[in-house]
Chains A and B, each alone.
Chain A
Amino acid sequence: MKKSACLTCFFVLTLFFSMTILWADEVPFEETVLNNKVSDNNTTNNNEEDEQSEPEEADEMSEVAQIKDPLQSINRAVFAFNDKAFHYFFKPVYTGYNSMIPVQARVSVRNFYTNIKMPISFFNCLFQSNFKGAGTEMLRFVVNSTIGVGGFLDPAKSRFHINKQNRDFGQTLGKYEMESGTYLVLPFLGPSTSRDVIGLAGDAVLNPLTWVSWFFLTPIESIGNYTYESVNDLSIDTGDTYESITKPAIDSYIAVQDAYIQNRIKKVKD
């Protein structure tokens, strides 16, 4: 009974999202709502870049994103909190974890999570009408779940050279020309924008783990699960991405913000 309810919910929600996406260019209701919000905020915006003068750099300048950051004071506070959380909680935890668990095991755990989360990239490929990508994801899922022993190994990549498609819902919204909106720093989750927050919600719906934790786990267990997943990811990355941006920066808040926005623009363009 529970199972069928879960499945129906999942099906209805995905259908709903795919429908909204399919109609998105005709009735861009989310977009207009967001744009209104942004234009309200524009008056308080103090982060807009001045007009650029050097003509020979015009090509470069056009690539620089206009970042809307009216909530900078709050964002900076959350950023400082996240930085402390990273240095005093996550870093010691993953360093300890690193010394106990060999790297191959950690990569396997990551593979397992990636395999389970296949619907995220699969459906987003479909939404972006990237049917080849969707096929690739499906093939990867089948290969890795069977030959790859339930997703712990990644033979699809190592043997058949089928690379993972990293697609998320924020990117999908971007592809339908939704503006990235206001820059936000979320506690623990880090940099985001108003569009990508909607994206996170969309991805959560597409993520089977959300449904598993909703129906079968207590809140504490699901928090534990998410923490474990992110610690494991961090342990493979060894916090390099974060520290290589913040360490050489003069103003690490702006450095992370700019890196996030630039990276998102690239992902939407891909």
Chain B
Amino acid sequence: MKYRKIISAMCVGVISLAFMSTFLCAADEPGKLVMKTIDSGLTVLKEPSLKGPEKTQERRQRLWEEISFIFNFEEMSKRALGQHWKKRTPDEKREFVELFTNIMKDAYIGKTDTYSGEKIVFLREKQEDNKYATVQTKIISNTGTEVLVDYRMLSNDGKWTIYDVIIEGVSLVNNYRSQFNNILMKSSYEELIQKIKDKKGKEEISAK
């Protein structure tokens, strides 16, 4: 009777290990890439020589160099414009991608200025037919608040890039698409571009 228990316990152990190992193998590609990039970003934020408000610009620049490669800004812009993307000329597309990249950079790199030791934990990842993947992570703040952040990823010849970030169910790209659609329903594409540029200008003034 005792042996039976021991043997069954061992069996359970072996089987769960086998499952675990396949899971660990699966966690290889997109999940590992995201976590590695986040870790290198956090290293920059924790770097003592880059702390303090006077180092803000330098720190932002370093951080941008570390993490920007993982984002697919063209895909983000395309999805954010939705059905309006097709109607644009290649030049307009290039300009739009540049503007949209700048919005992302200012908004989300700027957020890291208030970094105060938040932890980022990997939860799980899902892959669909080798082309799309979702990496789920959680940010835990010092006060114990937890924020779920999902990264939607796309594989281009085995190179994984992020095309959307979903924070507590709010998709960044969908959020901008709602805004752009709303503006484009009432006004022209040129006016939208002007609005984006105006915003950038305003921010530069307020930063000075």
User: Which residues of B sit under 8 angstroms from A60, Cβ to Cβ?
Assistant: 79, 173-174
Size of the chain B interface, CB-CB below 8 angstroms: 37
Asked whether any CB of chain A lies closer than 8 Å to the CB of B145, the reply is: yes
| Interface core residue of A60, A157, A248 (most chain B CB under 10 Å) | A248
Q: Which residue of B lies closest to A49 (CB)?
A: B181
Residues A262 and B170 in contact, CB atoms below 8 Å apart: yes
Size of the chain A interface, CB-CB below 8 angstroms: 39
The interface bits of chain A over 42-78 (1 if a CB of B lies within 8 angstroms of the residue's CB, else 0) are: 0000110110111001001101100100000000000
Residues A250 and B180 in contact, CB atoms below 8 Å apart: yes
Asked whether any CB of chain B lies closer than 8 Å to the CB of A198, the reply is: no
Residues B179 and A251 in contact, CB atoms below 8 Å apart: yes
The interface bits of chain A over 241-269 (1 if a CB of B lies within 8 angstroms of the residue's CB, else 0) are: 00011011111001101110011011100
Residues A250 and B199 in contact, CB atoms below 8 Å apart: yes
Q: Whole-angstrom distance between the alpha carbons of A57 and B82 in the complex?
A: 8
Asked whether any CB of chain A lies closer than 8 Å to the CB of B53, the reply is: no
Q: Which of B107, B111, B114, B178 contacts A257 (CB 8 A)?
A: B178
B128 CB, min distance to chain A CBs, angstroms:
10
The interface bits of chain A over 111-144 (1 if a CB of B lies within 8 angstroms of the residue's CB, else 0) are: 0000000000000000000000000000000000
Asked whether any CB of chain A lies closer than 8 Å to the CB of B144, the reply is: yes
Considering only residues 147-184 of chain B, those with a C-beta below 8 Å from chain A are 168-171, 173-183
Interface residues of B (CB under 8 A from A): 79, 82-83, 85-86, 103-104, 106-108, 110-111, 114, 142-145, 168-171, 173-183, 185, 192, 195-196, 199
Interface residues of A (CB under 8 A from B): 46-47, 49-50, 52-54, 57, 60-61, 63-64, 67, 103, 107, 154, 157-158, 236-238, 240, 244-245, 247-251, 254-255, 257-259, 262-263, 265-267
Please give me the 6 A-B residue pairs with the lowest Cβ-Cβ distance, nearest first. Answer: A266-B169, A248-B107, A258-B178, A262-B170, A259-B170, A254-B179
